[in-house]
Amino acid sequence: MESEATPLLARSTVNPAGHRRGDDDWLAAAWADPNTRVLVLEGGEPGSYGWKALMAKQSRALVTTGQTRELVLLDPHHAPAGERYLLGSDGERAYFAVRSHQDLEPNPVAEPASLREVGAVLNDHDTGLFTRAVALANWNASHGFCPRCGARTRIEKAGHVRVCEEEGTEQFPRMDPAVIMLVHRERDGQEECLLGNNPNWDAHRFSVLAGFVDAGESLEQAVIREVAEEAGVVVEDPRYLSSQPWPFPRSLMMGYTARAVGETERTDDEIAETRWFTRAELAEAVHSEEVVLPGRLSIARTLIEHWYGAELPGGW
| Cα dihedral across residues 47, 201, 207, 185: positive or negative | positive
Buried b (16+ CB within 10 A) or exposed e, 166-190: eeeeebebeeeebbbbbbbbeeeee
CB-CB contact of 116 with 297 (8 Å) = yes
CA atoms within 13 A on the CB side of 181: 32
Chunked in runs of 10, what are the mean pLDDT values of the chain (316 residues)?
69 95 97 97 66 77 55 94 95 94 83 90 94 94 94 97 97 96 96 96 96 97 98 97 93 97 95 97 97 95 96 88
CA distances from 90 to 63, 174, 218, 295 (A): 27, 25, 35, 30
Q: Which domains does the chain have, with CATH numbers?
A: 8-142 (3.90.79), 176-308 (3.90.79.10)
Please list the residues that pair with 274 across neighbouring strands. Answer: 196
CB-CB contact of 291 with 208 (8 Å) = no
Angstrom distance (rounded) from CA 5 to CA 7: 6
State the pLDDT at residue 85: 98
Identify the DSSP state of 160: T
State the pLDDT at residue 61: 39
Compute the residue count for the chain.
316
Angstrom distance (rounded) from CA 274 to CA 235: 15
* Beta strand ranges found along the chain (DSSP E): 37-41, 52-56, 83-89, 94-99, 110-114, 153-156, 161-164, 170-171, 176-187, 190-197, 209-212, 233-246, 251-263, 273-278
Longest dimension (CA), the chain: 67
State the pLDDT at residue 64: 40
CA distances from 46 to 10, 142, 143, 193, 297 (A): 21, 6, 10, 35, 20
State the pLDDT at residue 58: 64
Query: For the chain, how far is it from start to end, CA to CA, in angstroms?
Result: 25
C-alpha angle 248/80/30, rounded to 5°? 90
CB-CB contact of 277 with 195 (8 Å) = yes
Angstrom distance (rounded) from CA 230 to CA 225: 9
Amino acid type, 90? D
